[in-house]
Amino acid sequence: FDASKGFAAQAPVLEGWTHVYSGKVRDLYEPQDEQAFPDAVLVVASDRISAYDHVLSSTIPDKGRVLTQLSLWWFEQLSVPNHVLGTTVEDGVPAEVVGRAMVCRRLEMYPVECIARGYLTGSGLAEYREHGTVCAIRLPEGLEDGSRLPEAVFTPSAKAEVGEHDENITYEDVTGMVGDDAAARLRDLTLAIYREAEGIARERGIILADTKVEFGLDPVTGEITLGDEVLTPDSSRFWDASTWEPGRAQPSFDKQYVRDWLTSAESGWDRSSGDEPPALPADVVERTRARYVEAYERLTGRAFA
Ligand code: ATP
Ligand code: MG
């Protein structure tokens, strides 16, 4: 791991913690004092935003805090065991990242993006239009972009390198990767999370169209445990229930302004060119920030401090 390269270079230096990895949005640290924090990892959410498989040069103020606070709220609502150990300075979180960081159990992550879909869109819709299936699961005929599925389905994908598109895989593929027992558990937990969360979101007038979760094995308890972030606008498609209308693309809760601007003539960016997207104008940044905060406030019923 080369911490001097790319957006990893933006990860803050934190006393007591060694930076070991940066994903598109999160920075991971290991404790320097392993005895004080056995089997722990510090997960810090940045304000980075990605779109069309690029991490943008612009950041969205407060996004890291929104993602972290929303994840923590969901972890409390869900009945599935999760990786969170602590969130305060007393728990070991460095003061400068309090609010957007969690001390977590260091899990042995499964290399599977566990996705549940209750509605058809995105890569699921693309496969359905070509083959009538999603991840080899046959669906009824006549479904459109945004259609509700008869029941939620488990549609796993394999994690791609930064800049690459994750690839849909079949349930059989998952059993080949992690074994029969773990595959069944991953599927059942993912669908249980979707059903629980879908009901909670619906009460708030929000459709949870699909969501991605990641699990790992807890080396201490031996249990398959929910890791990473959960049910945020980055990992899930939230739609406004009052404007949902199958047969067209549904406006996305979070990145709509970013996507609209990047693909507009004004940005001057050609998505197929392979070039890095340009910096976002201030009003697109501000409206996107407001969308993330709105998602937090509508889902949790709390004001974002
Ligand atoms: P995306 O999720 O958008 O595909 P990414 O996977 O590149 O992006 P981030 O989500 O930014 O990366 O980084 C989080 C990383 O930390 C992921 O690789 C995730 O698997 C890993 N991770 C999350 N929780 C834990 C944990 N408790 N123990 C070990 N690794 C974890
Ligand atoms: Mg991730």
Closest CA to 231 of 266, 202, 201, 188: 201
Q: Looking at the DSSP assignment, which residues form a beta bridge with residue 112?
A: 158
For 259-279, how does the pLDDT look when each residue is reduced to its tens digit (9 = 90+)? 899 999 999 999 999 899 999
CB of 28 sitting under 6 A from ligand 1: yes
- Examine the pLDDT at 184 and tell me if it is beyond 90: yes
What local confidence, expressed as pLDDT, does residue 5 receive?
67
CA of 272 to the centre of ligand 1 (A): 27
- Examine the pLDDT at 3 and tell me if it is beyond 70: no
Cα-only R_g, the chain: 19
- Examine the pLDDT at 204 and tell me if it is beyond 70: yes
- Examine the pLDDT at 162 and tell me if it is beyond 70: no
Q: Which two tokens stand for residue 266?
A: 């004004």
DSSP 203-254: HTTEEEEEEEE-EEE-TTT--EEE-S--S-TTTEEEEETTT--TTSPPPPSS
Which atom of ligand 1 is nearest the CA belonging to 162?
A: 7
Whole-prediction pTM: 0.94
For 24-40, how does the pLDDT look when each residue is reduced to its tens digit (9 = 90+)? 999 999 999 999 999 99
Beta carbons within 10 angstroms of residue 153's beta carbon: 22
Q: How far apart are CA 138 and CA 280, in angstroms?
A: 40
CA of 140 to the centre of ligand 1 (A): 34
Question: Kind and range of the H or E element at 109?
Answer: strand 108-109
Phi, psi angle pair for 254, to nearest 5°: -120, -60
Which atom of ligand 1 is nearest the CA belonging to 104?
A: 27
